[in-house]
Amino acid sequence: VQLQASGGGLVQAGGSLKLSCAASGSGFIIHDMGWYRQAPGKQRELVATITQTGSTTYEDSVQGRFIISRDYAKKMLHLFMNNLKPEDTAVYYCAADITRWGRTNQVRYWGQGTLVTVSS
């Protein structure tokens, strides 16, 4: 199982970006998925999550600006980021809780991270 994140870049404040995360491989079930971010000098923090049934949660500072979604058939996760602010600058990581066929435990997998830079 591998997660590949993409879509980061440089954008001006007030702009928008779409992040994507593709899960590759076979023989597994994806449960909850989420986006995390880590700004320079700070700890990694949760940005948004989406369950297997589509329920979503957001960190307070992104509520109303970011939208998380997933494409079950394509095994992809997206984060639509609108009205970006300089404080959104961070490396964004996708994560997925996965159970491999024949097993019962869930294992968290991480993407490699994609850098989002918001200029003022």
DSSP 19-73: EEEEEE-SSEEEEEEEEEEE-TTS--EEEEEE-TT--EEE-GGGTTTEEEEEETT
Average pLDDT over residues 9-33: 97
Identify the band that residue 88 occupies on the pLDDT scale cut at 50, 70 and 90.
very high
The reported pLDDT for the residue numbered 116 is 98
Give the pLDDT confidence score for residue 77 in this predicted structure. Answer: 98
Task: Quickly state the pLDDT bin for 78 (edges 50, 70, 90).
Answer: very high
Check residue 13 and give its pLDDT: 98
Share of the chain above pLDDT 70, in %: 100
